[in-house]
Amino acid sequence: MDLDAVTKQSALHAKPDGLTLQYGTAGFRTKAEHLDHVMFRMGLLAVLRSKQTKSTIGVMVTASHNPEEDNGVKLVDPLGEMLAPSWEEHATCLANAEEQELPRVLLDISEKAAVNLHQDAFVVVGRDTRPSSEKLSQSVIDGVTVLGGQFHDYGLLTTPQLHYMVYCRNTSGRYGKATIEGYYQKLSTAFVELTKQAFCSGDDQRTLKVDCANGIGALKLREMKHYFSQGLSVQLFNDGTEGKLNHLCGADFVKSHQKPPQGIEMKSNERCCSFDGDADRIIYYYHDADGQFHLVDGDKIAALISGFLKEPLLEIGDSLSLGVVQTAYANGSSTRYLEEVMKVPVCCTKTGVKHLHHKAQEFDIGVYFEANGHGTVLFSKAAEMKIKQLAEELEEDKKRKAAKMLENVIDLFNQATGDAISDMLVIEAILALKGLTVQQWDALYTDLPNRQLKVKVADRQVISTTDAERQAVKPPGLQEAINELVKKYRLSRAFVRPSGTEDIVRVYAEADSQENADSLAYEVSLAVFQLAGGIGERPQPAESPEQFLDDSPLFS
Ligand SMILES: CC(=O)N[C@H]1[C@@H](OP(=O)(O)O)O[C@H](CO)[C@@H](O)[C@@H]1O
Ligand SMILES: [Mg+2]
């Protein structure tokens, strides 16, 4: 490690004095102008991680659904998964080290993590379409090269595509080819194979409207759509040619505002979906004949997918375990539906994909989705082998057919992480095969009315939680207050937790009516404000839904 060279180069990516950042739920995220030093240092860290794991490591430059002026960075571990927690700590230390401390911190990390510094290092880099992303990804590359690491810059990619590339490279191509062409080929071949049956039986060509959040998803979907055009025609909106990234559009906007994005023409009963800014989340929705808006969120995606998978799994007759993983934000109706109607085991984990992903690995087939549309399905090695073996058996019977179908489903999911494009193709395939309309899918169960709010407090870490974030253990008295409030309403539930990506406390409430959910959320916000050191204006009761929109300081 040439520490003199590191010091010299680092001076060109100097850290602003006094700035401290935390590697949070989704890596580092803040205003783009504060991130140059973090990028350079994440290049350095990726080299150390690559040497330690003797594998290719990914670095993605994106701030997902956050505003265009923001940016962020996260590292991708060898099998395409999120960075290991112990390395998140190293990332935070390295990002916050003052210039003169940098060599010592690098040596410290190398020692603590037993990095063999003589090992080769290889890092792959991807970035989203933000104006700041190109320069920032160059800073990552500067960090990689000054430590002698090799790199491949993929340029513009969706976040899940970068995860896919990392996974492919570390499994000698067994997972797929580590090129954009390889990604398109793998997914579209699986999609076309899977839907052959549905489309042969005379179904009309299917059309889907896609809101691309003016982000990277638009570029990639436009390139990819020709690969599966016999099966599905996608119409792109908010494709970045005019609008601003994530502004009044995208999956996060649609989910949190519970209304359609701007820039999309929706006719009644037409199936529409939205990606987020880096295309790792997807949400569906439609207007009914009365013009009422219906959201079909991550919970319903999980219900559709697990219902679909149950049948071929029963058919192949092997006792492979199927489970669904959710977070506390999952609508109570979805959990009840999965457990009581579908009879599948449901687990609840802390918020953040890495927690869900980890839990899903405990099943042969683990379906995980956050309510906001981030998720995928993981197949254990044993399940994959069993399915492949059955699919190759000579006898052409129902069992083999079911195994063949599952084989294509395995290939269609991005098993490295949740992926809007891959999930979209899975959902479209299921709807086609089952002959379901979006309304029929939506009717699987009825969501309980719910409301999410944000409360500003002086220090959000005064709140700590347990039971997958459903119970507050600190500050004293807060959980008791929430329990009392919840008792006042029917079918009600509420919890609070400090956000891992924003400097706020999140409040969630659901109840038998929208009015009651709003009212419970307001009362819980007030309890948080009073018991957890609220700052600024006190939470106000909602008089109109507009009050919940982002421009209000307390409600969004
Ligand atoms: C309620 C909610 O939507 N929380 C989001 C949000 O996390 P917070 O820790 O709640 O800020 O950002 C995460 C990263 O994108 C995402 O995984 C998660 O679902
Ligand atoms: Mg995202």
**Ligand 2 mean position, distance from CA 22 (Å):** 18
Check residue 543 and give its pLDDT. 66
Q: What is the DSSP letter of 260?
A: P
Mean pLDDT of 136-165: 98
Atom in ligand 1 nearest the alpha carbon of residue 252: 3
Q: Alpha helices, DSSP H only, in 317-380?
A: 332-336, 353-360
Q: 464 and 363, same structural domain?
A: no
Atom in ligand 1 nearest the alpha carbon of residue 327: 19
Residues 496 and 482: beta-carbon distance below 8 Å:
yes
Residue 552 confidence class, pLDDT cut points 50, 70, 90: very low
* Better pLDDT: 298 or 18: 298
Question: pLDDT per residue over 241-273, tens digit each?
Answer: 999 999 999 999 999 888 999 999 899 999 999
Residue 553 confidence class, pLDDT cut points 50, 70, 90: very low
Q: Would the pLDDT of 487 be above 50? A: yes
Q: Would the pLDDT of 396 be above 80? A: no
Check residue 438 and give its pLDDT. 95
Residue 431 lies in a domain: no
Q: 228 and 149, same structural domain?
A: no
Q: 305 and 266, same structural domain?
A: no
Residue 553 lies in a domain: no
**Ligand 2 mean position, distance from CA 113 (Å):** 29
The verdict on whether omega for the bond into residue 475 sits within 30 degrees of 0, i.e. cis, is yes
Question: pLDDT per residue over 500-519, tens digit each?
Answer: 888 899 999 999 999 999 99
382, with CB counted inside 10 A (0-12, 13-18, 19+), is exposed
- Write out the binding residues for Mg(2+): 64, 276, 278, 280
Q: Is 289 strand, coil or helix? A: coil
**3-state percent breakdown (helix, strand, coil) of the chain, nearest 5:** 45, 20, 35
Nearest listed ligand to the Cα of residue 160: 2
**Ligand 1 mean position, distance from CA 507 (Å):** 12
Question: pLDDT per residue over 43-92, tens digit each?
Answer: 999 999 999 999 999 999 999 999 999 999 999 999 999 999 999 999 99
Token pair for 221: 């979907």
Domain final residue, candidates 260, 277, 294: 294
Question: pLDDT per residue over 192-219, tens digit each?
Answer: 999 987 755 444 558 999 999 999 999 9
Question: Nearest residue CA, atom 6 of ligand 1?
Answer: 501
Residue 550 confidence class, pLDDT cut points 50, 70, 90: very low
Give, for ligand 1, the residue of 359, 372, 460 to mutate: max count of ligand atoms closer than 8 Å to Cβ: 372
Check residue 202 and give its pLDDT. 45
Residue 544 lies in a domain: no
Round to whole Å and give the CA distance between 394 and 18. Answer: 67
Nearest listed ligand to the Cα of residue 372: 1
Atom in ligand 1 nearest the alpha carbon of residue 500: 9
Q: 308 and 284, same structural domain?
A: no
Question: Nearest residue CA, atom 3 of ligand 1?
Answer: 372
Please tell me the total count of domains within the chain: 4
Check residue 427 and give its pLDDT. 98
Q: 327 and 417, same structural domain?
A: yes
Which residue range(s) make up the domain with 101?
Answer: 3-156
Q: 191 and 139, same structural domain?
A: no
Pocket of ligand 1 (CB under 6 A): 25-26, 64, 329, 351-353, 370, 372, 374, 499-502, 506
Residues 452 and 256: beta-carbon distance below 8 Å:
yes
Round to whole Å and give the CA distance between 446 and 294. Answer: 10
User: Looking at the predicted complex, does its ipTM rise above 0.95?
Assistant: yes
Q: 461 and 413, same structural domain?
A: no
Residue 72 lies in a domain: yes
Task: Indicate which CATH number applies to the domain containing 459.
Answer: 3.30.310.50
**Ligand 2 mean position, distance from CA 114 (Å):** 32
Task: Indicate which CATH number applies to the domain containing 17.
Answer: 3.40.120.10
Domain final residue, candidates 414, 443, 472: 443
Give, for ligand 1, the residue of 30, 70, 354, 501 to mutate: max count of ligand atoms closer than 8 Å to Cβ: 501
Q: 322 and 215, same structural domain?
A: no
Chain-centre distance for alpha carbon 393: 37
Task: Indicate which CATH number applies to the domain containing 344.
Answer: 3.40.120
Mean pLDDT of 373-386: 96
Q: Is 161 strand, coil or helix? A: helix
Residue 547 lies in a domain: no
Q: What are the residue numbers of the active site? A: 64
Round to whole Å and give the CA distance between 324 and 198. Answer: 26
Question: Nearest residue CA, atom 1 of ligand 1?
Answer: 329
Chain-centre distance for alpha carbon 524: 27
Residue 351 lies in a domain: yes
The residue with tokens 């991807």 is 126
Residue 174 lies in a domain: no
Mean pLDDT of 114-131: 97
Question: pLDDT per residue over 325-339, tens digit each?
Answer: 999 999 999 999 999
Q: 339 and 245, same structural domain?
A: no
A 10 A CB-CB count for 287 gives: 16
The residue with tokens 């023409």 is 265
Mean pLDDT of 92-105: 96
Residue 56 lies in a domain: yes
Question: pLDDT per residue over 337-373, tens digit each?
Answer: 999 999 999 999 999 999 999 999 999 999 999 999 9
Q: 124 and 10, same structural domain?
A: yes
Q: 117 and 12, same structural domain?
A: yes
Check residue 329 and give its pLDDT. 98
Which residues, 6 or more positions from 451, have their beta carbon under 8 angstroms from its beta carbon?
A: 508, 509, 510, 514, 517, 518, 520, 521, 542, 548
Nearest listed ligand to the Cα of residue 216: 2
Q: 145 and 45, same structural domain?
A: yes
The residue with tokens 């935070």 is 92
- Identity at 139, one-letter amino acid code: S
